[in-house]
Homo-oligomer: A and B are copies of this chain.
Amino acid sequence: MITKEELILRQEQCHELFRKGGIFITPAEKSQIEIADFGLGDFERLGLGVLVYVNTDRCCAKELAMLPGQTCPEHLHPPVGTEPGKEETFRCRWGKVFLYVEGGPTPNPACRPPEGGENAYTISHEIALNPGEQYTIFPGTKHWFQAGPQGAVVSEFSTRSTDENDIFTDRRIARVTRIANS
């Protein structure tokens, strides 16, 4: 859970990252940036800002803003109904992001899972994305990612997004952020 004051502060931070990444968003969009903390209440370490541009029955596009060293926890996108699960392409626009996917473990990876929750990170095949580099994740495969020391701005192009169906390795996680009423 985060407070409304923190929500506004974090949206400002994400807006500044988008600005650095050359991404122009409208004032209305700024107030729509989702501050995803995965219900863990530790946004600076575990979280990301998400601006959904479009999400129809067939396709979706988002902009992601990540603070320095921030982690999006390990998860996968399972089949939903008759659909094979979400397919997504991450394109780094600014900064650097390290993506971890299924495959042989990378020796000496650049990132470590956030301290205290290491058990919820089971894969370590590293894909480093600099600006202009991208990678496609196919349905049903685990992945997590962490921003480099400056943070990162990442565009996500995908099939329909249904975050509520995502399966996180860390079972404490609730994908939908709760905002305090105060």
Chain A residues packing against B (C-beta within 8 Å): 21-26, 29, 53-54, 56, 58-61, 87, 89, 91, 93-94, 131-134, 136, 155, 157-159
Contact B24–A134 (Cβ < 8 Å): no
Contact A136–B56 (Cβ < 8 Å): yes
User: What separation, in Å, do the CA atoms of A59 and B59 have in the docked complex?
Assistant: 6
Q: How many copies does the complex hold?
A: 2
Pick from B26, B29, B93: contact of A24, CB below 8 A: B93
Contact A131–B61 (Cβ < 8 Å): no
Indicate whether A24 sits within 8 Å of B136 (C-beta atoms), given known contacts A59-B158, A59-B159.
Answer: no
User: What separation, in Å, do the CA atoms of A56 and B136 have in the docked complex?
Assistant: 10
Contact A159–B58 (Cβ < 8 Å): yes
Q: Chain B residues near A131 (CB, 8 Å)? A: 24
Pick from B23, B24, B89, B94: contact of A53, CB below 8 A: B89
User: What separation, in Å, do the CA atoms of A56 and B26 have in the docked complex?
Assistant: 30
Contact B134–A25 (Cβ < 8 Å): no
Contact B54–A136 (Cβ < 8 Å): yes
